[in-house]
Each structure stands twice: as C-alpha cells, then as structure tokens.
A and B are shown apart, each in its own frame.
Chain A
C-alpha cells in the first residue's frame, strides 16, 4: 500500500533508537487503521499523533542522555538563539547568550577531560583577539568604495555578525580557562603551604 510506505517514511522523524525498537509495530498499526477507517481518517489521526509524539520522544531521549550530550544540545540552542538575537537587533541579550555559550563550551571541554593548561587558555583567547582584529580590519577600515560595493551588504553583515560572535566566544572561553587555571593554582599552592 502506498499509504503505508509513506507512513514508514514519516516514522523517520522519530529518534533512531525509538524507530528501531517500535518503527515496525507502528507501521503495522497504521496499516491496520487504514484497513479499518480508510486512508483519509487514518492519516488525519496519524499526522496529529506524529506532531505530538515525535517531539516528546526527542525530549525523552534528551532527558535520558548523558550530561555531555545535554550540554552540547544546550550549547547548539544557545548559539542559534544568540545569533538570532544579534541578527534581529537584540544586541544585549545576544551578547549575554554568547557569554552563556562560552561557559557551556568550557563545561563541555572540562567534561571531555581536557585539562585547563596554560597553553590552551591563551590559544583560545589569542585566536579570538586575532579573529576580532582581522574582522575589524576588513569591516572598519576605510577601503575604497568600489571594493566595498563588490560585496553584498547582507552577506557582509552576516559574516561580520558570525565572525565577531565567534571572536567574543573564543576570548571569553579563554578567559574562563585562565581564571579556572589561576584558581586551581591558588588552590594547589594553598594546599601545599597548609
């Protein structure tokens, strides 16, 4: 039945683990409903069902995921929200979200077992400053007008927004690492003298 084949394709919107476990019984249940109620009624009910149960299954699988996965999802969502706010003009909230994003990235690195070493913190902060400097030279210097007009304004704005956001995140992430390293050094030296 083409209707059942289509429903089988629709079940791909569910999380892979749930689909592996229950995909086949779900398709069979849908086929039974098509036989009983006809395609139109079965589809009406199935689409409502998918729109409610699929997001719920993602939410459940996220809740059962490891803290690192949860934090990674939170970082992706924070990044998207930060860029969205910066693009539509919510600069202050966008900057706050970038700071949150930097903290989340820092927490992910810690969870993955990265040690906060001296080299790493200045590498992050340094690359952030370097990126900021490059973007500043590109976008703020008085280049000839024909050079400027060669690049579409919207593209330049988007690149600048992403670039400056990334540089802020890198600098703040580096600073978080530097502060954590300083705190850990003080703790170690305090422990040694005690």
Chain B
C-alpha cells in the first residue's frame, strides 16, 4: 500500500538521491547509480544492494514506478528494468528540495562564511 511522504518527514538521503537522479526520465539501475555519482561529485556510490533496497521501498511507497516501455529496445538489454518518478515522488522531491533550501538559508544566516560559499 502506498504511504504518503509528501510534506511530512524528511526523505532518507538514498531516496532523495534516486529521485534527483531519475529527474523526469525513465532510467535503469546502472544509469541511476551513475547519475547519483555525478550529482554528488562522486561522493556517493550506491552498491547494488543499497540501490535495489531503496528502489523496493520507493516502489512500495509509490514514489517511483516500473515502466514497461524501453527508451530504445534495439540498443538496450531487454532484461533491464526501468523506473520513473510518480506524481507523489515528484511532490516528495520538491518538498525535500524546499526543506534543504530552508536549511541552507538558515545555515547561511547563522554562519556567514557558509552563506557566502
């Protein structure tokens, strides 16, 4: 059963990373892993267990869904599974982004050296 996470509690970092990595596209596990590395400047590398453990929870929570369509079946491995963000996932991502912006604003106000960075 899908649980609403919108506007309630902060998302776990791995979930937020995957939502950011997916963007508005449909991507498979390896592409998500590569994109997470890219957006975190290589600081976060998700292993297969962590990635698919998070994907399992996100599917259960209704934040992402598995798609049947393949972007380019001729170029791709048929066994790959593709995922995309749901409307609920997009709202949760926007909520988390807003929460982070608020945190950064407060951090900048209290620590000017951080705010100017």
30 A-B pairs with C-beta separation under 8 A: A14-B49, A18-B52, A18-B53, A18-B56, A22-B52, A24-B79, A25-B48, A25-B79, A25-B80, A26-B49, A28-B29, A28-B30, A28-B80, A29-B48, A32-B30, A33-B33, A45-B47, A46-B47, A48-B47, A49-B48, A49-B49, A49-B50, A52-B49, A52-B50, A53-B49, A54-B49, A56-B53, A57-B49, A60-B53, A60-B57
Q: Across the interface, do A26 and B56 meet the contact criterion of CB distance under 8 Å?
A: no
Closest 5 CB pairs of A and B: A49-B47, A53-B49, A26-B48, A22-B52, A32-B30
B31 to chain A, nearest CB (A): 9
> CB within 8 Å of B: which of A97-134?
none
Q: State whether A22 and B56 are in contact (beta carbons under 8 Å apart), knowing that A28-B30, A28-B77, A29-B29 are contacts in the complex.
A: yes
We find that the number of chain B residues with CB closer than 8 angstroms to chain A is 19
Is B20 an interface position by the 8 A CB rule?
A: no
Minimum C-beta distance from B3 to chain A (A) = 13
Give complex CA distance A167, B8 in Å: 51
Q: Is A50 an interface residue (CB 8 A)?
A: yes
CB of A53 within 8 A of CB of B80, answer: no
Q: How many A-B residue pairs have CB under 8 A?
A: 58
Q: Within the assembled complex, what's the spacing in Å between the Cα atoms of A45 and B42?
A: 13
How far apart are the CA atoms of A171 and B101 in the complex, in Å? 62
Q: Which residues of B contact A27 (CB under 8 A)?
A: 48
Docked complex: B39-53 residues within 8 A CB-CB of A? 45-53
Chain A, residues 28-65, CB within 8 Å of chain B (1/0): the string is: 11101100000000000110111011101100100000
SS class of chain B's interface: helix, strand, loop or mixed?
helix
Shortest C-beta distance, B18 to chain A (Å), equals: 13
- Chain A residues whose CB sits within 8 angstroms of the CB of B56 once the complex forms: 18, 21-22
Closest chain B residue, CB of each to CB of A26: B48
B81 within 8 A of A: yes
Q: Known pairs A21-B56, A22-B56, A50-B49; list 15 more (Cβ under 8 Å).
A: A24-B79, A25-B81, A27-B48, A28-B29, A28-B79, A28-B80, A29-B48, A33-B33, A49-B46, A49-B47, A52-B49, A53-B49, A54-B49, A57-B53, A60-B53
Number of A interface residues, CB 8 Å? 24
Give the CA-CA distance A18 to B50 in the complex, in Å.
12
Q: Which residues of B contact A30 (CB under 8 A)?
A: 48
**Complex CA–CA separation, A49 to B47 (angstroms):** 5
Asked if A25 and B52 sit within 8 Å, CB to CB, the answer is yes
Contact of A26 among B45, B52, B77, B79 (CB under 8 A): B52
A29, B53: Cβ atoms closer than 8 Å: no
Most B CB within 10 A of own CB, among A29, A32, A54: A29
CA distance A57 to B47 in the complex (A): 14
Closest CB in chain B relative to A13 CB, distance in Å = 9
For the complex, give the distance between the alpha carbons of A53 and B51 in Å: 9
Verify B51–A29 contact, CB threshold 8 A.
yes
